[in-house]
């Protein structure tokens, strides 16, 4: 007889008269006490692993000890026996040692039971049931019929009860047919190596002379797998696993593409086997059949499909944003299958995109044309497609002490005198105030019709309309009221005070009305504002029949971001868009399109839209922002420096900021 020995002293419970000690109160008390220790401080932020041991039920003979291994946990282990008169417990590293205490009063048929608890630093807990007797019968979990294995199959045998110091023996030459591992804990494994002509008898004995014998047979079988198909989402997908349910070991792999001859390797997938588990690792997109053959010639096939990459953009981008309509933007194609193409631009695309292409580095490069959103379609050689939304986003030109826009209205009137007298007029502006200073001017004509803020210190300022009202509405060269102004109830938010917001403000003049209360109106974010006149003198008089635009004072022009030829009249703001209408717009009309950016073509068709400025190029070095209204270049927004008195033309090289639609804040 040839022996395989292991000095580990292990045992398990058997059916006997038992004396069990149940200590639920001790369990609760122990856990309450332990939860307060420093060992259990949860210092980690990741998910805690489960606490697992390789044996959670052991049997011992008095005076013997056993080692139980911690196979999973979170460190900082602590252990304790509920009844140290039965067993003691200690832990070193990941080994828990349990020792049975000598007890002279223990009868021949008596069994003492208790629990050993193990806790880790993340408060994970495992319990080990322990039973102690003077003598155990040797038993295992193997059925009377023994083990029937196929080649390569490994079975785990568990010793249920016994008296430690176990040894395994079998007839000479058994190791050619089966492999038997050393005993670890209370288990060992048996692996089929070669078919047997007759059963191999394995005998297990313990130190008390107890023994058990069971047959082991290794048979030739047909190769079977738990699955004959594997589908991968893409070449970089995780490996998949197929279990060999039975087979004859010595596995090899071949690969067949379509109806071709099998090959020893494949560009699509790689297959390897270990421990009756086939690992399939994808390599590239395609379809292939993996042929699995064992050493006895039995074979099975696995149909493998590796799908192409899904198209992805760099940094998980889902869209492209171009900041400004004179700008370009790009995004890299991070994942795909090569041969990238963009679908031809449609009429819808061309409304806001001038061009779109894929460069030599596989970047999608978009050149903007006008503000708006559209969608490009990207495709590759594998037929994958990706819809890529493109937004040409509005940006606002920031004005402060450095820039303003001047529209030469006096010069225009010289060649278009009928434009001078306006019975109705509306100014609209979308802007973000950046500073707080009295008498800031935003848009309009000094001394005629102007949107500004009041002259009341440097903070907490209201918006107001500054205008010109004659005492005889029919005599526009006669006496006027002194500095007529109409103020809002709302205060102006700004960066300086930390309450800035996007505003859409419209001011309206209607000379057909009989009272200034109806002739002058202000709308803030689409809602009419209650106005308060600065003086009762002109609070409700009849307005002028017309606004005389050529009567503009200061810099003698229609201005954005300035008026009055003075450093105290600068408008500190980011301008998104501004409009000048020769009609009195209604609340409904203002609210309907206050966040709309008309295209140049749309602007040209808008009745009464004389001036329309969208400083949203997003680029530097601009001398003039075009007027898209019907007056055309005669009212282009020429860029000037914001000098104290005499301003001069200068290119805009300032900053832009992205624009949001204004919202109502009371």
Least confidently predicted of 149-163, 316-330, 425-439: 149-163
Residue 136 backbone dihedrals phi, psi, to 5 degrees: -120, 145
Copy the structure tokens of residue 430.
Answer: 């979308």
Q: Where are the domains of the chain?
A: 1-219, 224-306, 312-393, 400-658
The pLDDT, as a whole number, for residue 16 is: 39
296 and 315 Cβ atoms separated by less than 8 Å? no
Mean pLDDT to the nearest integer, 510-516: 97
Residue 663's pLDDT is what?
Answer: 58
3-state helix, strand, coil in the chain (%, to 5): 10, 45, 45
- Confidence (pLDDT) at 35: 43
Give whole-number Cα distances, 243 to 45, 272, 276, 302, 529, in Å. 35, 12, 6, 12, 76
Which has the minimum average pLDDT: 30-39, 128-137, 297-306, 542-551? Answer: 30-39
- pLDDT in the model for residue 28: 43
pLDDT digits (tens, 9 = 90+) for 324-344: 999 999 999 999 999 999 999
**Alpha carbon distance, N-terminus to C-terminus of the chain:** 98
pLDDT (average), residues 498-518: 96
Residues 450/426, Cβ–Cβ less than 8 Å: no
Does residue 5 register a pLDDT over 80? no
264 pLDDT higher than 90: yes
How confident is the model over 145-169, as pLDDT tens digits? 999 999 989 999 999 998 888 999 9
Helices (H), 162-250: none
- 646: enclosing H helix or E strand: none
Give percent of the chain above pLDDT 70. 92
- Look up the CATH superfamily of 312-393: Immunoglobulins (2.60.40.10)
Q: Six-digit token pair at 384?
A: 């994958």
pLDDT at residue 398 is higher than 50 = yes
Q: Is 496 helix (H, G, I), strand (E, B) or coil?
A: helix
Model confidence at 42, pLDDT cuts 50, 70, 90, reads: very low
Whether residue 396 has pLDDT greater than 90? yes
pLDDT in tens, 236-245: 999 999 999 9
Output 501 or 41, whichever has higher pLDDT: 501
Mean pLDDT for the stretch of residues 94-108 = 87
143 CB-near residues (< 8 Å, 6+ apart): none
Q: Which residues of 601-612 are buried (b: 16+ CB within 10 A; e: fewer)?
A: eebeebebbbbb
- Write the pLDDT tens digit of every residue in 339-362: 999 999 999 999 999 999 999 999
Mean pLDDT confidence for 430-454: 96
DSSP 546-583: -EEGGG--TTTSEEES--TTSGGG---EEEEEEEEESS
Domain 400-658, CATH: 2.60.120.200
Question: Is there a shared CATH topology between the 1-219 domain and the 224-306 domain?
Answer: yes
- The DSSP letter of residue 478 is S
Residue 108: predicted pLDDT: 77
Would you state the pLDDT for residue 103?
78
How much is the pLDDT for 434? 96
Q: Between 174 and 566, whose confidence is greater?
A: 174
Residue 481 in this model has a pLDDT that exceeds 70: yes
Q: Report the pLDDT averaged over residues 45-62.
A: 86
How far is the C-alpha of 298 from the C-alpha of 279, rounded, in Å?
19
* 8 A C-beta contact, residue 218 and residue 149: yes
Can you read off the two tokens belonging to residue 654? 């300032």
The residue-averaged pLDDT of 168-185 equals 91
Quote the mean pLDDT of the chain. 91
pLDDT digits (tens, 9 = 90+) for 451-460: 999 999 899 9
From 4-18, 93-107, 357-371, 388-402, the region with the lowest mean pLDDT: 4-18
CATH (residue range 1-219): 2.60.40.1080
Q: Can you give the pLDDT at residue 25?
A: 41
Going by pLDDT thresholds of 50, 70 and 90, the confidence category of residue 418 is very high
Residue 217 and residue 202 in contact, taking contact as beta carbons nearer than 8 Å:
no
β partners of residue 53: 70
| Class of domain 224-306 as given by CATH | mainly beta
> pTM for the whole thing?
0.70
Q: What is the pLDDT of residues 205-228, one digit of tens each?
A: 998 899 999 999 999 999 999 999
- What mean pLDDT comes out for the span 307-317? 96
Question: Which tens digit of pLDDT belongs to each residue from 554-604?
Answer: 999 999 999 988 888 999 999 999 999 999 999 999 999 999 999 999 999
């Amino acid at each position: 007889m040839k022996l395989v020995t292991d000095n580990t002293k292990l045992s398990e419970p058997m059916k006997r008269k038992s004396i069990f000690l149940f200590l639920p109160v001790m369990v609760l008390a122990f856990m309450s006490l332990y939860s307060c220790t420093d060992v259990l401080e949860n210092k980690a932020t990741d998910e805690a692993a489960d606490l697992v041991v390789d044996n959670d039920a052991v049997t011992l003979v008095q005076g013997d000890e056993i080692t139980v291994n911690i196979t999973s946990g979170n460190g900082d282990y602590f252990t304790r026996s509920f009844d140290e008169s039965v067993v003691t417990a200690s832990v070193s590293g990941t080994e828990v040692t349990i020792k049975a205490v000598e007890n002279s009063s223990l009868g021949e048929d008596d069994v003492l039971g208790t629990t050993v608890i193990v806790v880790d630093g993340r408060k994970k807990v495992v319990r080990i049931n322990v039973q102690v007797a003077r003598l155990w019968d040797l038993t295992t979990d193997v059925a009377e019929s023994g083990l029937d294995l196929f080649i390569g199959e490994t079975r785990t045998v568990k010793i249920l009860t016994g008296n430690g110091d176990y040894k395994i023996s079998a007839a000479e030459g058994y190791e050619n047919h089966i492999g038997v591992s050393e005993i670890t804990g209370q288990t060992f494994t048996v692996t089929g190596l070669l078919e047997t002509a007759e059963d191999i008898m394995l005998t297990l004995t313990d130190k008390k002379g107890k023994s058990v014998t069971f047959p082991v047979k290794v048979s030739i079988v047909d190769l079977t797998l738990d699955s004959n198909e594997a589908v991968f989402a893409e070449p970089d997908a995780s490996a998949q696993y197929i279990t060999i349910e039975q087979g004859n070991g010595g596995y090899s792999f071949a690969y067949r593409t379509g109806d071709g001859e099998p090959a020893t390797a494949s560009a699509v997938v790689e297959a390897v086997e270990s421990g009756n588990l086939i690992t399939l690792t994808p390599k590239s997109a395609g379809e292939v059949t993996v042929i699995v053959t064992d050493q006895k010639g039995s074979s099975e096939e696995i149909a493998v499909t590796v799908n192409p990459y899904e198209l992805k953009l760099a940094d998980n981008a889902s869209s492209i944003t171009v900041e400004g309509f004179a700008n370009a933007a790009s995004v890299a194609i991070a994942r795909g299958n090569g041969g990238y193409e963009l679908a031809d631009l449609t009429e819808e695309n061309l409304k806001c995109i001038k061009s779109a292409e894929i460069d030599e580095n596989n970047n999608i490069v978009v050149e903007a044309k006008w503000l708006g959103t559209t969608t490009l379609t990207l495709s590759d050689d594998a037929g994958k497609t990706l819809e890529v939304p493109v937004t040409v986003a509005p940006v606002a030109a920031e004005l402060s002490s450095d820039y303003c826009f001047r529209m030469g209205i006096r010069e225009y009137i010289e060649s278009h005198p009928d434009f001078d007298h306006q019975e109705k007029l509306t100014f609209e502006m979308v802007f973000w105030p950046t500073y707080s200073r009295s008498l800031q001017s935003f848009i309009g004509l000094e001394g005629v019709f102007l949107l500004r803020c009041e002259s009341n210190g440097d903070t907490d300022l209201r918006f107001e309309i500054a205008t010109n009202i004659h005492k005889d509405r029919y005599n526009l060269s006669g006496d006027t009221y002194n500095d007529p102004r109409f103020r809002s109830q709302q205060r102006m938010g700004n960066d300086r005070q930390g309450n800035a917001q996007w505003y859409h403000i419209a001011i309206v003049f209607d000379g057909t009305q009989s009272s200034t209360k109806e002739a002058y109106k202000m709308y803030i974010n689409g809602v009419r504002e209650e106005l308060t006149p600065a003086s009762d003198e002109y609070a409700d008089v009849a307005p002028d029949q017309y606004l005389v635009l050529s009567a503009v004072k200061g810099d003698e022009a229609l201005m954005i971001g300035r008026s009055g030829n003075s450093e105290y009249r600068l408008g500190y703001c980011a301008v998104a868009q501004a409009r000048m209408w020769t009609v009195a717009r209604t609340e409904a009309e203002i609210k309907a399109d206050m966040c709309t950016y008309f295209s140049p073509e749309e602007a040209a068709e808008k009745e009464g839209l004389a001036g329309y400025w969208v400083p949203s190029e997003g680029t530097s070095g601009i001398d003039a922002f075009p007027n898209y209204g019907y007056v055309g270049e005669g009212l282009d927004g020429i860029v000037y420096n914001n000098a104290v008195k005499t301003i001069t033309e200068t290119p805009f090289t300032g900053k832009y900021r992205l624009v949001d639609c204004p919202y109502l804040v009371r």
